[in-house]
Structures are given as C-alpha cells and as structure tokens.
Chain A
Amino acid sequence: MNGFRIAAGAAMLSVLGACAQPPAPVVVADPYAGNVGGPARYTGAVKPGNLPGTVTAADFARTAGDTVLFPENDASLDGAARATLVKQADWLKRNGSFSTVVEGHSDEKGTREYNLALGARRAGAVQEYLVSQGVESGRIRTSSYGKERPIEVCSTPECQARNRRAVTIVSPGTGV
C-alpha cells in the first residue's frame, strides 16, 4: 500500500498546479502486493495530494497567490479575487497536510476598531469562499489586523488599495 501511495504522489507532483478536476484513475505496479511474479493492477480512484515535505508554504504563494484585494470599506470578492481563491482552494485540496490562517487587513483610513472588524469580515469572506470550493472549514482559521500591519506605508490611493487585503498563510500540520 505504501509503495502505491508514493507512486501516486510522484505522479501528482509532476502535474502540480494544473489540475482543478480529480485525476483519472492511475495504474501502478505494486511489488509488495500478491500475485507473485505478475503485475498488480489497481483501478480505484486515487486521492490527489502531495506528500508532506515535498512542497513548502512558499510554493503556495508562488503558484496560487496568497493575497486578494478589496474595495474601500468592503469585503466583497471581485473576479480577480475569486480566481486567486480558486487556485488557493485547489492547492489546499492537493495539500491536505497544510492548515491555513487567513489574515484580514484594511487601509489606514478609518477608525482602529472598525478596521479590525472590517479585516475580520474580509478574512471571513475568504474563508467562506475557500470552503465553497471544497476546502474543509476546520483547516481555516481567521484573524484580523485591521490597519495595524500595512504592506505599503505610503498614503496614495494605489498604496491604500494594496493594503485592503486578505492574506492566506499556509503552514504544515493539520491543526488550526
């Protein structure tokens, strides 16, 4: 059984990032199975996924994108945000050993406490969307930093726009 899973995992690794649909059944040879001397044939559905240790959190940010942006005073997800979240969800489904924290942020305009609540609302919107795409809700924790942790320190409208964000941070381990 072990050898089978390794083989399947290696096969998945080669198509990383390209599979939004469950893969077709994979045929593998299992040297540890019965049928001495002959090939073993498995046709069951293989659960997609990478083995722990073969991918890193950095891979998530690079391949799926860890940040989505929001309009002013708003937690709605536009097309670009949803496209990013679909990729995040795919990655998380393939890498079931990772858990995630979604951190909501706001720009510096607005009051401190309202911005904490607004960041929470943004993180909640991301969590809800990831769950709708098939990620187990128990793997996603949310937090909010409001306006406490801007990524841009300038005060132009463009900078403010980049600070109105939710960042999905993945880490190895299923606990959240």
Chain B
Amino acid sequence: MTRTLFSLAAAALLALCAAPLTAQDTPAPAPDATMTAAEDQGPLRIEITGGQVEPMPIAVAPFFDEGGAGELAGQIQQVVTADLTGTDLFREIPADAHVAKPTAFDDAIAYPDWRAINAEALILGAVAVQGDDVTVKFRLYDVFSGQPLGDGMQFDAPREGWRRVAHKVADQVYARVTGETAYFDSRVAFISETGPKDARLKRIGIMDYDGANPIWVTDDADLVVSPRFSPDGNSLLYTSFASGMPQIMLMDVASVQSRPLKMEAGTMSFAPAFSPDGRWIVYSREKGGNTDLWQMDVATGAERPLVETQAIETSPSYSPDGRQIVFESDQSGSQQIYVMAADGSGEPQRISFGEGSYGTPAWSPKGDLIAFTNQQGDSFHIGVMRPDGTEEKMLTESFLDEGPSWAPNGRVVMFTRATPGGEGTSRLHSVDVTGRNMRPLDIEGAASDPDWGPLLP
C-alpha cells in the first residue's frame, strides 16, 4: 500500500510541467485613474529581513472552473492561499470583502475595486480537469501599480498531483513578491513516533512540506532516527538499530529498498549527511567508545577519516558549495560548532562562542547562515549565525528544541520541539529566519527529526 501511494506521488512528480501563458493571453490593464498616486508605492515587494513586518494584504479571486474541475478549483485555491498566508508574509482579504467579481480568467482587472479593499496583490486562477489530467492557470497582479507581476503560467499534471500544482502556483507568487527562491513544492522526511516514551515506536515518513500526504517508507519494527535526503531527493540516509547498534542505511525512495552502508564490523555509525553533489557522505563513526567524523565515496564505498580526536565529533553538514563542512565537537569540554575544509585539510575553526553548548549545525542552502541547537542550562534554543560565527540570533526557546533543517530557499527552518514528563511528546515546528511565524506543523501524532528535501522540479 505504501509503495502504491508513493509511486502515484512519484508519477505526479514526473509529469508536472509548466509553461508561461503567451503574451497575448495577458489582458491589457484596465484604464487606471489612480495610477499616479500608486507610483509612489514602488514595486510590489516584501523584504524578508528582521523586525516586525506587516503581512501584505492579498486577494485571491475564486478560481474559475474551466471544465470538469468541480470542487477541485476551490481546493487548489485553498492550498495556494494557505501556502502564502502560512508564511505570515501575506494576509488574505476574505472573498466576501471583494468588490470586484471577475467572471472569467481573461477579464480586464478592475484595479480601483481591488485598491478600494487595500489589496496589494491579486491572484486569478483557473482549473480544468480532463480525464486524469488537471490544468491550472494563474496570473498575479500588482494592484497599486496596476499591472501584472510577471507572466501568467499554466501547469499540467496528473489529477492526483493537484496539491503539487497548487504549491507551484504559490511558489511563483512567493518568489515574485519576495525575490527569494520558492519552497512550497517540497517534501519533508521525518520520524513518526507512537507508543510510550520508554518504548517508543518510530518509523520514517515523507510528507509534503505542509504535512499533507504522509507516506511511510519504513515500518516500526526497528528503531530508526534522523532521515536525511540526498540533494536530488531520490535517496534517503537514516540510522537504524535493526542490527542492535546504530547503523547508517541508504534507501532508494522510489523502490523503498534499503541497504546498510558497508562499515567495519562492530562499529556504530550515525549522523549522516550528503555532499551537495551527492558524491560524498560525511558521518559519525564510533570505535572503542570514541566518535569521529568520516567521509565515504558513495560510488565505491571507500571510507576515510576526516576528523579524529579523543572527543566526540558528530552532526556534520556541508556548505552548499561543497567546500566546507560544519560539525560539532566537544573537544573544548562542551559541545561547540566548528567549520573545516571538506577535503580534511587544515585545522577546524571553532565558530560558536556564546553562552552554553551548541550542536546540530545545519548550513543554509543559501550559504549565508548556519542554524544550530543551543542549550543554556535547562532551556534549548534554535538559532542562526553567520558561517564565521558572527550575528548570532536565537529564534526559539523551550524545554527542548533541537535539530533545525532548512527550507530549500534558506528562509525557514523546521525543528523538533519536545515537552517534558511521562506524557511528554515531540512535534515538528517551523520558524522563519527572522524569528517570526513560529508554528507547529499540522500533522497527526508525534513526530521528530525533520529533514527538509529539495524544491521539486
């Protein structure tokens, strides 16, 4: 059943295609009397920086049913809207406040009517279903400057891939307004947890970034932790206790087939991470009680030590250019974060010097920040800092926050938040890079160890 579900999702992935609507499809702007006043506003743009930002008011006109769409038109519109408002960068103006009521996708836009309700951006969409295929079109308008923002686009996909199409539409809107790259059409690998705290059952799930469509790629017979996607999202590294000790496994996601990475017998291995080109795996390997960093050539299985000390080295993460590795070590007496050359040359440089201990560094896909877990006494924080250790900023605080993983665009991190006591549980939360918009992920049951995969093609 799991495999069937997954191959359907995979099929949707392969068949989705996008095309800009031709220029002649873009309707001419309606005559616009208030143009001059609007020019002072500058281009439509949200800057994702620090500080309190007022969400941008947007109007999403009801998506038109251009044949056979039925309820799907509304469902797609809902997902597009939820993606955008879920960032807290956009605020939806509810449909009952709309003055203009467009009747067709190609209608001229009544900008004054949208301006009257203070909409800064307007989205028009249309959905058609033919057989097993769905076609979704959208256009984005900058209401105050009175013109389209970018080309309209059309997406064709298998019908069961409709949520991905909705994410693609929202991604286009997000990217055009923020100037950042998109991230909604992505998946998250995670650990689903059931059972009591002292006999937790764990299995690996893969879901849409918003928690929808979870599928299970391992059963809960063996304890598993920390799944990690390959850069292309087609493989998954994880750590299994099936052999009685932690051991890194490599899974082909499409076939759900796993194999252990070949290691010297009797050694534990865990905390794996792929290099950005997918050629290398860096991970922790234990021998005689001591844990060091090792590197493996994925193609040949050849291993070599990267950092060997009498201290614990673990939780490595590559820089997006593949030249450096950030990891944690307790060689100073407590967990701290170090950066080193990915080829093992030179001495690792410590970059964390704030209060408390630092672990689970994750290098942003943008390269500009490293996210980490910080422990100060009895409280845990997710924080970010520059790769040179400057501009440290804590984003969260709780009894136990840990293990940040970056959205593909490097503007949001997802992490595990655990609560104390016998009834304590774990949930996934996300927060944006400025510390705004902390929110739990809406999924059923307990979950931990999120790994945010790449933006899907």
Within 8 A of B (CB), among A84-126: 101, 108-114, 116-118, 120-125
Judging by beta carbons under 8 Å apart, are A123 and B270 in contact?
no
Given A144-B246, A151-B198, A154-B422, verify A110-B289 contact (CB < 8 Å): no
**In which size bucket is the chain B interface?**
35 or more
B346 CB–A CB distance under 8 Å? no
Determine if B286 and A113 form an interchain contact, defined as CB atoms under 8 angstroms apart.
no
Asked if B266 CB lies within 8 Å of chain A CBs, one says yes
The answer to whether A117 touches B312, judged by C-beta atoms less than 8 angstroms apart, is yes
- B289 A116 Cβ-Cβ under 8 A: no
**B271 engages A124 (CB within 8 Å):** no
Within 8 A of A (CB), among B261-275: 266, 268, 270-271
Q: Does residue B94 face the partner (Cβ distance < 8 Å to A)?
A: no
Closest to B378 in A: A109
- Give, as a whole number of angstroms, the nearest-CB distance from A117 to chain B: 4
Shortest CB–CB separation between residue A131 and chain B, in angstroms? 10
Total chain A interface residues with beta-carbon distance under 8 A: 35
Q: Which residues of B contact A121 (CB under 8 A)?
A: 289-291, 312
Could you list some 17 contacts between A and B, CB below 8 A? A73-B330, A101-B244, A108-B418, A109-B378, A111-B373, A111-B402, A112-B225, A114-B314, A114-B315, A116-B268, A116-B314, A120-B268, A120-B289, A121-B290, A124-B290, A128-B288, A141-B245
**A109→B449 contact, CB < 8 A:** no
| A142, B289: Cα distance in complex, Å | 8
A143 touches B420 (CB 8 A): no
A60 at the interface (CB under 8 A from B): no
Q: Which residues of A (128-171) have their CB < 8 Å from a CB of B?
A: 128, 141-146, 148-155
A128 to B288, CA, bound (A): 8
Query: Of the candidates B199, B286, B330, B402, which one forms a contact with A112 in the assembled complex, judged by CB atoms under 8 Å apart?
Result: B402
Query: Given A143-B244, A144-B245, is A117 in contact with B200 using a C-beta cutoff of 8 Å?
Result: no
Query: Which A residues lie within 8 Å of B271 (CB)?
Result: 113, 116
| Chain A CB within 10 Å, residue with most, of B199, B244, B314, B378 | B314
- Complex CA gap A146/B246 in Å reads 10
Would you give the shortest CB distance from A176 to chain B, in whole angstroms? 8
Query: What is the minimal beta-carbon distance from B248 to any residue of chain A, in angstroms?
Result: 12
Complex contacts, A153 vs chain B, CB 8 Å: 196-198, 421-422, 424
- Whether B334 is near chain A, meaning CB under 8 Å from some CB there, is yes
- Contact among B289, B418, B424 for A125, CB-based, below 8 A: B289
Q: How far is the CA of A149 from the CA of B373 in the complex (A)?
A: 22
Q: Which of A120, A124, A128, A145 has the most CB of B within 10 A?
A: A120
Question: Would you call B312 and A118 a contact (CB within 8 A)?
Answer: yes
Q: Which of B396-416 contact A (CB under 8 A)?
A: 399-400, 402-403
Give Cα distance in the complex from A130 to B37, angstroms: 83
CB of A50 closer than 8 Å to a CB of B? no
The answer to whether residues A117 and B291 also contact, given A108-B400, A109-B375, A143-B244 and a CB cut-off of 8 A, is yes
Chain B residues within an 8 Å CB radius of A111: 315, 335, 359-360, 373, 402-403
Q: Do A114 and B359 have beta carbons less than 8 Å apart?
A: yes
Alpha-carbon distance between A141 and B359 when the two chains are bound, in angstroms: 28
Q: Which B residues from 432 to 451 make CB contacts under 8 A with A?
A: 448-449
Verify if A12 is at the interface (C-beta below 8 Å from B).
no
Given contacts A113-B270, A113-B314, contact A155 B246 (CB under 8 A): no
- A145 and B241 contacting across the interface, CB-CB below 8 Å: yes
Judge if B328 is at the interface, Cβ distance under 8 Å. yes
Within B302-338, the residues touching A (CB, 8 Å) are 312, 314-315, 328, 330, 334-335
1/0 per residue B333-368: CB within 8 Å of A? 011000000000000000000000001100000000
In the complex the two chains form, is B289's CB within 8 Å of A124's CB? yes
Contact between B197 and A127, CB atoms less than 8 A apart: no
